[in-house]
Amino acid sequence: MALALGMAMRWLHLFSVMLLVGGVAYARFYAGDLAAGFKRLGCWLIGAILLSGIYNFVRKSGPSVHYDIWLGVKVLLALHIFAVVWFYRGKQRALTGAVVSAALIVAISEYLRVTH
């Protein structure tokens, strides 16, 4: 049961991130603006990311200080993406910044996966 819950939370985390970042990237590079209903979906996705991310962190046994520092950087970058979705007011520059933050999060995630 614990294994299934862990897998479900990991899946929820990854799927929510893919939808949120994919929506922002689509808005930046193809649509030119966030869709009218995306903010509502984005809020649900942000909630799912926070819930599953906290669960995954608590479940991880004994992370090092090095891991915690890089995780903190990831969280700050994720908060930037959340703020762009929540407070978006038609600025392309904000969407560009969110896409760059997402790319940095992916790079940090891979670094942490390889080193820990």
* One pLDDT digit (tens) per residue for the chain, 116 residues: 778 998 999 999 999 999 999 999 999 999 988 988 899 999 999 999 999 999 998 988 777 889 999 999 999 999 999 999 999 988 999 999 999 999 999 999 999 888 87
What's the pTM value of the predicted model, to 2 decimals?
0.90
| Domain count of the fold of the chain | 1
* Res 97: pLDDT: 96
Please give the residue range of the domain that contains residue 22.
2-115
Give the C-alpha separation, 40 to 29, whole Å: 21
Residue 43: per-residue pLDDT: 95
Q: How confident is the model at residue 90, as a pLDDT?
A: 87
- List, as own/partner pairs, every contact residues 61-67 make where C-beta atoms lie below 8 angstroms and the sequence separation is at least 24, other chains included: 63/116, 64/116, 66/115, 67/112, 67/116
Contact 81, 102 (CB under 8 A): yes
